[in-house]
Amino acid sequence: MRLGVLDIGSNTAHLLVMDAHQGAAPVPAVSHKLELRLAEHLLKDGTIDDAATAALVGFIQESLQMAEDSGVTEIMSFATSAIREAPNGKAVLKEVHDRTGVEIDLMSGERESRITFLAVRRWFGWSSGRLLVVDIGGGSLELASGADESPDEALSLPLGAGRLTRDWLPDDPPKPRQLKELRKYVRAQVADVASRLTRFGQPELSVATSKTLRQLARIAGAPASSEGLYAKRTLTRADLGTWLPKLAEMTAQQRTELPGVSLGRAHQLMAGAVVAEAAMDILGISELAICPWALREGVILERLDLLPVN
């Protein structure tokens, strides 16, 4: 069957169409994206403005037509932290529904973390043992740990790269004082929950998902996306430590010249690196394995699990 996932994230709205069958790995067929950057482009009171809402409606209308043309039989739609936390988030989703007919699930941070964990578990399998999963989005940081398909602990913190760039790093490149204050804030937030992630045991494998962490790994020498899903990719704490001071001195435009760094995300890469450093240090992670599957794939896998067994 051909399934579609509409992911309204804090950075990007993304339609991913997959060929999916129970007992098999979902295979991407069609992808359609729009960089909305909702986590950064909010009004002073945190509300999503009319222009962003109109852009979202237009994207969903385009996605519905694309899904129909691609033979999609079912679309699952969800929104994450930017809309979840906006004072008018529910009103935005109502307008989307009124104008497109699409009912978007306002996913909680904990559920987002749990579904991402499921995708990581299915990718690496049972032989990977206890997992610790780190996902840095535009609006939030998701952390989860466990030995099963459902994590023992699943957390969401307001430490997304887009949010932190907007609130803490207004200058380009950021001033040393701004970075110091951000580093202190992020580390306090991560330290506050660290014991919850290790209370049932230390992980055998620590895993990174999300575009931010993939870009940091690519900068540090991980294989390019052109080498395929199965190329081994990692981000070590040592490599991150080498690159942090270099990134701090670069403008966003200069970062786009680094391998794998997109124009739309270059400005928030520094904040993402600060979060990655804090998570690795405080949680005792020397190396993160990069997982190509994350939330969208987890939504597909969860849906397939509900199908009757033939």
**Quick one: pLDDT at residue 213?**
96
Write down the pLDDT at residue 142: 97
- Give the pLDDT mean for 257-273: 93
300 sits in which H/E element:
helix 295-305
Closest CA to 207 of 140, 130, 261: 130
In what side-by-side order are the strands of the sheet with 2-8?
Answer: 27-35, 12-19, 2-8, 74-79, 105-106
Read off the pLDDT band of 1 (50, 70, 90): confident
What's the pLDDT at 264?
A: 83
Take residue 236 and report the two structure tokens written for it. 């070590």
Which residues contact residue 37 at a Cβ distance below 8 angstroms, ignoring those fewer than 6 apart? 10, 11, 12, 138, 162, 264
Cα dihedral 272, 273, 274, 280, rounded to 10, equals 110
Domain 2-107 carries which CATH code? Answer: 3.30.420.40
- Residue 310: band (very low, low, confident or very high) from pLDDT cuts 50, 70, 90: low
- For the chain, list the strands marked E by DSSP: 2-8, 12-19, 27-35, 74-79, 105-106, 131-136, 141-146, 153-157, 205-209, 234-236, 287-290
At 249 the pLDDT is 97
Q: Where in the chain is the domain with CATH 3.30.420.40?
A: 2-107
Helix (H) or strand (E) holding 186: helix 176-198
Architecture of domain 125-295: 2-Layer Sandwich (3.30)
Give all strands (DSSP E) within 72-137, no chain letters. 74-79, 105-106, 131-136
Among 34-38, 41-45, 229-233, 275-279, which is the least confidently predicted range? 41-45
Question: Helices 211-219 and 237-249 sit at what angle, rounded to 10 degrees?
Answer: 90
Residue the block writes with tokens 């004072």? 87
Residues of the chain with CATH 3.30.420.150: 125-295
With H, G, I as helix, E, B as strand and everything else as coil, classify residue 78. strand
